[in-house]
Amino acid sequence: MALREIIKKGDEVLGKKCHPVTKFDAKLHRLLDDMAETLRQADGVGLAAPQVGILRQIVLVINKQDQIIELINPEIIATSGEQYGLEGCLSVPGRYGFVKRPMVVRVRAQDRFGNTFEVEDDEITARCFCHEIDHLSGHLFDELCDRTYTVEEIDEMERQAGEKE
């Protein structure tokens, strides 16, 4: 396994549409293993292939049980409810914004061997499914919020909210 460089906002590759994966071979498995190592090392909860410069429909999501879910050619097939909360991205370091997402998301995808499966989750993992799958069509979370904040600004907001209580 090897670490891959995480591409940052401003690089045009992040705005491109990804192609479907058609070969479920050793090269794909190597990419998935590298993405897993890169995601763990960066201490994130999700990573999409374009973030490491690969324009293929591949995302990894770490669920609430700390398991990595590999989603190849994923599509969201059902959603319900709503959540509004802070989101960030390894490609937009140090910036966070409030984004509205569904509370529950069901995804159909293929695994690393090409087998189709479905997975459903809620809260942060549902948010992560949406965020990562958006990357595959060239979209970043900050397009969905009015503005982004630094960690210091968020700390200050939370401090002020605490004082009002």
Residue numbers annotated as active site: 132
91: buried, middle or exposed (CB in 10 Å: 19+, 13-18, 0-12)? buried
Task: Give the nearest distance from C-beta 72 to Ni ion in angstroms.
Answer: 17
Q: State the DSSP code for 103.
A: S
For 41, the token pair is: 């090392």
Complex with Ni ion: residue 49 or 89, whichever CB lies closer: 89
Complex with Ni ion: residue 69 or 89, whichever CB lies closer: 89
Task: Give the nearest distance from C-beta 87 to Ni ion in angstroms.
Answer: 8
* Closest by Cα among 118, 120, 116 to 64: 120
Q: Are 51 and 4 in contact (CB under 8 A)?
A: no
Complex with Ni ion: residue 50 or 102, whichever CB lies closer: 50
Complex with Ni ion: residue 21 or 49, whichever CB lies closer: 49
Task: Give the nearest distance from C-beta 62 to Ni ion in angstroms.
Answer: 13
Who contacts 85 (Cβ-Cβ below 8 Å, separation ≥6)? 98, 99, 101, 127
Positions that interact with Ni ion (CB under 5 A): 89
DSSP per-residue codes, 47-68: EEGGGGT--BSEEEEE-TTSPE
The residue sitting closest to Ni ion, measured at its beta carbon, is 89
- Tell me the C-alpha to C-alpha distance, in Å, between residue 114 and each of 24, 81, 109: 6, 30, 9
Task: Give the nearest distance from C-beta 163 to Ni ion in angstroms.
Answer: 32
